[in-house]
Structure 1
Amino acid sequence: MAHYTIALTGGIASGKSEVERRFRALGVYVADADVAAREVVEPGTPGLAEVVEAFGPDVLGADGGMDRPAMRRRVFADATARLRLEAIIHPRVRAALRTACEAAPGSYAIAAIPLFAEAGRDAYAAWVDRVLVVDVPVELQLERLLRRDGIDETLAWRMIRAQATREQRLSVADDIITNDGPLDALDPAVATLHARYLALAHATPRPL
């Protein structure tokens, strides 16, 4: 069981998934907050029931699940709605990530948490040992988001500005990968960090 946990974070369209993929290829267990966020509001879950209670039945799609595109448009246009949704989902996601990481094989595990800086280190202090930030200039972040999601620039800026600023993310970082170049540049950066994390995990006593 892993006894050392790295939080992997970064702004939207920063390249977190590419970094995550490389750690997985090295055999590191990664618990993904985006996956957990979907699971905690699947049909039949208490999480989805609370979302419906807060926002009404029109948040549901034809399949009985949450209509994610419609909800995304709603919460990025209304800060109060976004905070209400986060208050329902985020505590459940944090609990799921902690359980998964503590049960993971290997010396250390990674929790991929896009909104780590927004919650603050205190929210994860009991089980996250180190924070890795994937950093990218905001202009490149916007360009990638427009290309990836096919959305208009107004919505893209709302999504970026709804998150922590670049400076706020960097302020919580123990380690930084700057992802403003070709993707193959990530390989040596991840390999170097993997060796560092193995050494840190081995030097950290296992809890009794």
Structure 2
Amino acid sequence: MRAKTAEDRKLIELFDPIAEAQGLNIVRIRMMGSSRAGGARRLQIMAERKSDGDIDVNECARLSRAISALIDEADPIPGEFVLEVSSPGIDRPLTRLEDFEAYEGLEARIELDRLAEGRKRFRGVLAGIEDDHIAIDLEGEAETAMIPFAWIVEAKLVLTDELMKRGAEARAARGDDEDEDEDFGDDDFEDDVANDDEED
């Protein structure tokens, strides 16, 4: 789920070592738009610090510069595109098995690539993991669903009072200023990147 397409998977293999060298994890990569549609595509990279799951604008800028340098050298993306490096945000996507354990007790939406219990979409409170399955207490139902992690195509925390409270507590524990917004959005650091070898 960190990468959705074959192109995304190729890029994440290239970029993971760069992020790791800076003490960061890449949460998700998405190349958006089509090279055939005209105009610039958008390469969205969400990252966070390994130590505490946070990231600031300076770290986003540093990662963006390092990835841009690699792109200039390796030339893995045809055509023009906009590189966007950001925080996952407070209502973050859940892309790794350990995310579902780390955010146990919080509400999430999950979408599958196939039917399970007669549906593809689930909403409820995360109840941990068991082997390679996600446990979720379904909204309005007295049951816990067990979902294979491999079936999940999208998962995201739901912005609730409980999630906001946890975010505020985390900021307080780090000693951040109260008016500092940790969810600084998906467009905090963008670079326009042009590739000279554009497709015809």
TM-score by length of 2: 0.29
Given the two structures, how large is their TM-score scaled by the length of structure 1? Answer: 0.28
- Of structures 1 and 2, the one scoring higher in RCO (CA 8 A, sep 6+) is 1
Higher strand fraction: Structure 1 or Structure 2? 2
